[in-house]
């Protein structure tokens, strides 16, 4: 088969759709051979073994859903956007700002693959080992070693690069880029709906159909018909609620602290001179000298398997943290602010006296996000702001049209927390010995907050 025929073969519709049943979106329709082949690569199948929300399943027990399922969802929502655009806004001539359906394949592939570089318990892993899932996604797509690259190359020799550039936001059609990356993109829409479904949190169920219906292409990318104002508004509120109730949940963050300290401890032990602690699959990462293949071998189950073995380690910290993680014994936490932050060293001192190394048994973490932000040229995260198009073609920025959104625009939501062993509040052993320490510690904690104790 020559290149031209192959391309057509790959990008032409399949005779019958291949359908995946999806609890959130109903059905996922695969209409092109290239998408089916991408799904069947080892690199993509690996996403079945990486949970979408990491340690959140330890708080919301239903949230075992995977990056695999999310990636299919982002693909499907992108497909629906393309369908709507093609039906209602097909381009008539170059530069008219309408939708050119020959962009469909690149958009669908980018949507499907945008998360393919995610590692085990991804955010924690990245943080500790300085890996970067976005770079790895680029590599998986463009490196000649991967099956994904092989499949993409059959569409065209420069096709892998084009797909990578969409994910990288350097692709020249802003409509395609914004489908995947903007404040109302297929990625966020899928994760809000999915995370809401699998956690049972009820707060992320915005009206997807209505948003798809009012979404439209224009020369600057993607905007929304003004009649969709309330649907967008509700989406922003849902996002806000999901951050507050799910993504920033203190117990999940506490389990992340434990996970991260556990990996940090393991790395230290493994890199010690003459150590015979050499967890084979992790060594390349510990030594910061790993191939793509090394990276792709690690998933959530591999880490858990090491933790199971480390429970019996002779290192008491490694063993204890592994048990806390596997048996789900979270640290406790308390909120602090600028006024109380100075107390933390004092508290760490008490904790140390009670027998816990603060390096491994305490942490601070702040989780903040903005539910919606208008364009700010200085911002690191340049999220395109949300634009509404009135009947006469005029654009209005969302917060100008919605009192509710204006009220929350640019607001940072979240909190700063200090994490410490629950034994400081509910001692389980050595109770008598350490009671004075516990008593002192508890003076600093009130109703989930660090406080400055009253003078006696």
Q: Restricting to residues 114-133, name those near a copy of itself by CB under 8 A.
A: none
Binding marks (x or -) toward a copy of itself, 188..227, rule CB under 8 A? ---------xxxxxxx-x-x-xx--x-----------x--
Q: Which of 394, 128, 141, 85 is nearest to 271 (CA)?
A: 128
Among positions 3, 8, 26, 426, the unique one binding a copy of itself when judged by CB under 8 A: 26
Q: Which is nearer to a copy of itself, 189 or 437 (CB)?
A: 189
Q: What are phi and psi of 32, to 5 degrees?
A: -130, 145
Among positions 3, 8, 12, 19, the unique one binding a copy of itself when judged by CB under 8 A: 19
Largest Cα–Cα distance in the chain?
A: 86
Q: Which is nearer to a copy of itself, 376 or 390 (CB)?
A: 390
Task: Give the range of 154-162, 265-273, 348-356, 384-392 binding a copy of itself by CB under 8 A.
Answer: 384-392
Please report how close the Cβ of residue 17 comes to a copy of itself at its closest, in angstroms.
Answer: 8
Residue 225, beta-bridge partner list: 389
Q: Which of 190, 182, 320, 180 is nearest to 258 (CA)?
A: 320
Those residues whose C-beta lies under 8 Å from the C-beta of residue 235, and which sit 6 or more positions away, are 184, 189, 192, 206, 207, 211
Among positions 8, 287, 390, 433, the unique one binding a copy of itself when judged by CB under 8 A: 390
Structure tokens at 226: 């003004």
# of chain residues touching a copy of itself (CB under 8 A):
76
Q: Binders of a copy of itself among 44-103, rule CB under 8 A?
A: 45-46, 48-49, 51, 57-58, 60-62, 64-66, 68-69, 72, 88
Q: Which of 407, 83, 100, 27 is nearest to 215 (CA)?
A: 83
Q: Which is nearer to a copy of itself, 157 or 410 (CB)?
A: 410
Q: DSSP H helical segments within 47-158, as ranges?
A: 67-88, 104-113, 122-129, 133-142, 147-153
Among positions 6, 7, 20, 264, the unique one binding a copy of itself when judged by CB under 8 A: 20
Please report how close the Cβ of residue 390 comes to a copy of itself at its closest, in angstroms.
Answer: 6
Task: Give the range of 42-50, 338-346, 356-364, 425-433 binding a copy of itself by CB under 8 A.
Answer: 42-50
Please report how close the Cβ of residue 230 comes to a copy of itself at its closest, in angstroms.
Answer: 5
How many angstroms separate the first and last alpha carbons of the chain? Answer: 86
Q: Which of 372, 379, 450, 453 is nearest to 415 (CA)?
A: 450
Q: Binders of a copy of itself among 393-452, rule CB under 8 A?
A: 403-404, 407-408, 411, 413, 447
Q: Which is nearer to a copy of itself, 177 or 222 (CB)?
A: 222
Q: Which is nearer to a copy of itself, 384 or 388 (CB)?
A: 388
Task: Give the range of 74-82, 159-167, 230-238, 269-277 binding a copy of itself by CB under 8 A.
Answer: 230-238
Q: If binding is defined by CB under 8 A, does position 237 make contact with a copy of itself?
A: yes
Q: Binders of a copy of itself among 158-177, rule CB under 8 A?
A: none
Q: Binders of a copy of itself among 257-296, rule CB under 8 A?
A: 281
Buried b / exposed e over 201-215, threshold 16 CB at 10 Å, is bebbebebebbbbbb
Residue 51, beta-bridge partner list: 66
Between the alpha carbon of residue 204 and those of residues 59, 163, 173, 234, 304, the distances in Å are 17, 29, 30, 9, 30
The answer to whether the beta carbons of residues 387 and 224 sit under 8 Å apart is yes
The answer to whether the beta carbons of residues 450 and 343 sit under 8 Å apart is yes
Task: Give the range of 108-116, 237-245, 341-349, 428-436 binding a copy of itself by CB under 8 A.
Answer: 237-245
Q: If binding is defined by CB under 8 A, does position 27 make contact with a copy of itself?
A: yes
Binding marks (x or -) toward a copy of itself, 292..331, rule CB under 8 A? -----x-xxxx-xx--xx-------------x--xxxx--
Q: If binding is defined by CB under 8 A, does position 17 make contact with a copy of itself?
A: yes
Among positions 138, 154, 165, 241, the unique one binding a copy of itself when judged by CB under 8 A: 241
Q: Which is nearer to a copy of itself, 24 or 166 (CB)?
A: 24
Q: Which of 371, 386, 325 is nearest to 57 (CA)?
A: 325
Burial class (CB in 10 A: 0-12, 13-18, 19+), 170: exposed
């Amino acid at each position: 088969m020559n290149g031209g025929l192959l391309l057509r073969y790959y990008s032409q519709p399949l005779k019958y759709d291949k359908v995946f049943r999806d609890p959130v979106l109903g059905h996922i329709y695969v209409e092109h051979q290239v998408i089916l082949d991408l799904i069947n690569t080892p690199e993509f199948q690996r996403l079945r073994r990486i949970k979408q929300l990491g340690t959140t399943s330890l708080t919301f027990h239903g949230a075992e859903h995977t990056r695999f399922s999310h990636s299919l969802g982002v693909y499907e929502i992108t497909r629906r956007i393309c369908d709507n655009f093609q039906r209602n806004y097909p381009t008539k001539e170059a530069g008219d700002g309408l939708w050119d359906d020959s962009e469909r394949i690149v958009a669908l592939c980018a949507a499907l693959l945008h998360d393919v570089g995610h590692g085990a318990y991804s955010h924690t892993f990245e943080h500790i080992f300085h890996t970067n899932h976005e770079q790895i996604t680029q590599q998986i797509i463009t490196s000649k070693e991967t099956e994904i690259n092989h499949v993409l190359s059959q569409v065209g020799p420069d096709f892998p690069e084009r797909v990578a550039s969409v994910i990288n936001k350097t692709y020249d059609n802003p409509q395609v880029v914004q489908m995947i990356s903007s404040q109302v993109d297929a990625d966020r829409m899928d994760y809000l709906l999915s995370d809401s479904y699998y956690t049972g949190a009820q707060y992320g169920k915005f009206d997807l159909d209505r948003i798809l219906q009012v979404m439209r292409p224009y020369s600057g990318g993607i905007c929304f018909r003004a009649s969709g104002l309330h649907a967008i508004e509700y989406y922003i509120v849902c996002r806000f609620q999901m951050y507050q109730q799910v993504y920033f949940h203190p117990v999940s963050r506490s389990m992340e602290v434990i996970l991260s300290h556990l990996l940090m401890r393991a790395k230290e032990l493994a890199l010690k001179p003459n150590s015979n602690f050499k967890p084979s699959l992790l060594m390349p990462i510990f030594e910061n000298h790993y191939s793509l293949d090394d990276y792709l071998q690690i998933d959530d189950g591999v880490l858990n398997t090491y933790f199971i073995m480390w429970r019996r380690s002779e290192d008491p910290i490694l063993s204890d943290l592994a048990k806390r993680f596997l048996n789900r014994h979270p640290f406790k936490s308390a909120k602090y602010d600028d006024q109380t932050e100075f107390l933390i060293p004092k508290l760490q001192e008490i904790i140390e006296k009670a027998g816990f190394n603060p390096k491994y048994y305490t942490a601070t973490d702040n989780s903040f996000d903005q539910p919606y932000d208008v364009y700010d040229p200085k911002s690191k995260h340049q999220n395109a702001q949300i634009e509404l198009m009135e009947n006469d073609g005029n654009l209005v920025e969302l917060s100008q049209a919605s009192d509710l959104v204006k009220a929350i625009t640019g607001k940072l939501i979240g909190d700063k927390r200090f994490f410490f062993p629950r034994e400081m509040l509910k001692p389980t052993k050595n109770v008598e010995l350490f009671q004075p320490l516990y008593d002192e510690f508890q003076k600093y904690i009130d109703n989930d907050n660090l406080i400055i104790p009253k003078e006696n």
